[in-house]
């Protein structure tokens, strides 16, 4: 008996290339798009190791946990790293980037996370890109949590290495990812003696053996199921319309924020200024005397399918994350999350107004 997941025809090079082209269209880019056969950390690490080395001075912007990891990789490559950390409840500004260049004109690489699902903030990439371009530095962007939730425009913003994954707002698989690579970034890699070659981390291998060869032969057996899932998820986004998908996320974020404020009980938006709040996920600060991870456990006990999580690491005490992305960018998921958090706060003896929270959530533009 044939099995729907197991007995598949091999994925052809032509089909693989067509999926890359579809992802390129989603990004509105004319740069080369390489689909990497692993979770987004693969191109995130491969792109840094490919372009950074002992001659690199990197400005590493830290607005959440991923920035820390990028700094570690950059240092490991031998780069001089200037960390620019901003509090996780805010976003970095173009002015701060400009000031860093003024202080360290030798900066020739900038790493930035667009939106942070883990902390709920999003950074003004278009404005930052202008500053980076003025100084001719290479611009590396982690857009895993922003793609599908808000515009990601590598060409318009001058991003040289733009990494995406499908598992967040795209509502797709986690096991494959993509990176768009500018000509400048390819040139840096080619000139970098430390860039991975003949390695799973190597983007240059894909350049030389796949892109430059006219995309005729794959380097190794592709992650077939994940590739098909990626194709299906891009197809679904095209069918719904990218604008509609992004609007759904924006609405989910606004509704969650407004609903949490209306709920009361001491729950507050974690990201202070709504302008800095990411459409992909909304983070909330719990009142004193409440432990966020316990509150989330109580809320999930009523409905384990709700997209609720406590913050990671030290944030587990103070932060609740509402991961209203992908299939959870819906009025139902937002309403359910607010109601369950309200009930959990009420159990702790805090005064909440669940009806007002649900009303606030319903006022969103849920098309
Ligand atoms: C989710 C995410 C990734 C991918 O990491 P996972 O641990 O696989 O979820 C990378 N960067 C950012 C900013 C993310 O939000």
Q: How far is CA 104 from CA 70, 79, 123, 144, in A?
A: 19, 14, 21, 28
Q: How far is the CA of 170 from the centre of ligand 1 (A)?
A: 13
Q: Are 66 and 43 in contact (CB under 8 A)?
A: no
Q: How far is the CA of 193 from the centre of ligand 1 (A)?
A: 29
pLDDT exceeds cutoff 90 at 1: no
**Tokens 């997209």 appear where?**
307
The pLDDT of residue 4 is 86
Angstrom distance (rounded) from CA 44 to CA 49: 9
The pLDDT of residue 365 is 85
What is the band of 60 on the pLDDT scale with cuts at 50, 70, 90? very high
The pLDDT of residue 304 is 97
pLDDT exceeds cutoff 80 at 367: no
**Residue 112 near ligand 1, beta carbon < 6 Å:** no
Region at 204 (left for phi over 0; alpha for psi -120 to 50; beta for the rest): alpha
Region at 313 (left for phi over 0; alpha for psi -120 to 50; beta for the rest): left
Angstrom distance (rounded) from CA 284 to CA 296: 11
- Judge whether 298 is annotated as a binding position: no
The pLDDT of residue 364 is 85
Q: How far is CA 24 from CA 32, 95, 130, 219, in A?
A: 8, 30, 22, 20
Q: Are 254 and 260 in contact (CB under 8 A)?
A: no
Average pLDDT of the residues in 18-29? 98
Q: How far is CA 160 from CA 152, 311, 339, in A?
A: 13, 31, 43
pLDDT exceeds cutoff 90 at 159: yes
Q: What is the pLDDT of residues 244-296, one digit of tens each?
A: 999 999 999 999 999 999 999 999 999 999 999 999 999 999 999 999 999 99
Q: What is the pLDDT of residues 98-141, one digit of tens each?
A: 999 999 999 999 999 999 999 999 999 999 999 999 999 999 99
Q: Are 204 and 196 in contact (CB under 8 A)?
A: yes
Average pLDDT of the residues in 153-177? 98
What is the Cα Rg of the chain in Å? 21
- Which atom of ligand 1 is closest in space to residue 117's alpha carbon? 15
- Comparing C-alpha atoms, which of 248, 258, 282, 251 is closest to residue 357? 258
The pLDDT of residue 310 is 98
Q: Average pLDDT, whole number, for the chain?
A: 97
Q: Are 65 and 311 in contact (CB under 8 A)?
A: no
CATH number attached to the domain at 242-362: 3.90.1150.10
Q: How far is the CA of 312 from the centre of ligand 1 (A)?
A: 12
Q: Are 325 and 256 in contact (CB under 8 A)?
A: no
pTM of the model: 0.97
Q: How far is the CA of 11 from the centre of ligand 1 (A)?
A: 27
Which of 92, 120, 164, 165 for a ligand 1 pocket mutation test, highest count of atoms within 8 Å of Cβ?
165
The pLDDT of residue 18 is 98
CA dihedral 15, 16, 17, 19 (to 10 degrees): 90
The pLDDT of residue 197 is 98
Angstrom distance (rounded) from CA 352 to CA 267: 9
- Comparing C-alpha atoms, which of 338, 262, 254 is closest to residue 302? 338
Average pLDDT of the residues in 213-228? 96
Q: How far is the CA of 145 from the centre of ligand 1 (A)?
A: 7
Number of helical H runs and strand E runs in the chain: 13, 11
pLDDT exceeds cutoff 90 at 17: yes
Q: Are 51 and 189 in contact (CB under 8 A)?
A: yes
Q: How far is CA 190 from CA 211, 213, 229, in A?
A: 14, 16, 32
DSSP 3-state of 354: helix
**Residue 352 near ligand 1, beta carbon < 6 Å:** no
Q: Where are the domains of the chain?
A: 13-240, 242-362
pLDDT exceeds cutoff 90 at 366: no
Q: Are 172 and 233 in contact (CB under 8 A)?
A: yes
> Is domain 13-240 annotated with CATH 3.40.640.10?
yes
**Residue 162 near ligand 1, beta carbon < 6 Å:** no
Q: What is the pLDDT of residues 331-363, one digit of tens each?
A: 999 999 999 999 999 999 999 999 999 999 998
φ/ψ of 91, rounded to 5, equals -120, 160
The pLDDT of residue 2 is 87
Q: Which two tokens stand for residue 351?
A: 């005064």
- Comparing C-alpha atoms, which of 210, 225, 258 is closest to residue 366? 258
Length of the chain: 367
Angstrom distance (rounded) from CA 104 to CA 135: 11
- H or E segment at 321? strand 319-322
**Residue 40 near ligand 1, beta carbon < 6 Å:** yes
Q: Which two tokens stand for residue 358?
A: 């649900």
């Amino acid at each position: 008996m044939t099995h729907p997941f197991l007995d598949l025809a091999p994925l052809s090079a032509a089909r693989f290339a067509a999926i890359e082209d579809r992802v390129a269209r989603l990004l509105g880019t004319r740069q080369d798009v390489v689909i990497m056969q692993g979770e987004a950390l693969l191109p995130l690490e491969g792109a840094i190791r490919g372009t950074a080395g002992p001659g690199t001075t990197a400005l590493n912007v830290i607005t959440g946990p991923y920035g820390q990891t990028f700094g570690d990789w950059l240092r490991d490559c031998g780069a001089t790293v200037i960390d620019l950390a901003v509090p996780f409840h805010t976003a970095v500004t173009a002015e701060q980037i400009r000031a860093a260049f003024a202080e360290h004109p030798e900066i020739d690489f900038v790493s930035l996370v667009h939106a942070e699902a883990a902390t709920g903030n999003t950074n003004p990439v278009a404005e930052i890109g202008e500053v980076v371009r003025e100084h001719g530095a290479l611009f590396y962007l982690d857009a895993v949590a922003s793609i599908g939730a808000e515009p990601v425009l590598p060409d318009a913003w001058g991003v040289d290495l733009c990494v995406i994954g499908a598992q967040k707002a795209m509502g797709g698989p986690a096991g494959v990812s993509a990176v768009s690579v500018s000509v400048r970034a390819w040139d840096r890699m080619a000139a970098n003696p430390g860039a991975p070659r003949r390695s799973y981390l190597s983007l240059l291998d894909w350049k030389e053996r796949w892109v430059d060869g006219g995309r005729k032969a794959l380097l190794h057996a592709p992650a077939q199921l994940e590739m098909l899932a990626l194709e299906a998820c891009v197809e679904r986004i095209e069918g719904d319309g990218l604008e509609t998908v992004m609007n759904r996320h924006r609405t989910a974020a606004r509704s969650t924020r407004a609903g949490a404020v209306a709920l009361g009980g001491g729950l507050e938006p974690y990201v202070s200024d709504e302008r800095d709040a990411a459409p992909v996920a909304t983070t909330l600060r719990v009142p004193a005397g409440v432990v966020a991870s316990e509150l989330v456990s109580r809320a999930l006990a009523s409905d384990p399918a709700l997209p609720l999580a406590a913050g990671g690491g030290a944030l587990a005490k103070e932060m609740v994350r509402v991961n209203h992305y992908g299939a959870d960018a819906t009025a139902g998921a937002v309403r359910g999350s607010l109601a369950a958090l309200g009930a959990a706060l009420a159990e702790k003896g805090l005064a909440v107004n669940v009806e007002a929270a649900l009303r606030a959530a319903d006022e969103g533009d849920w098309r």
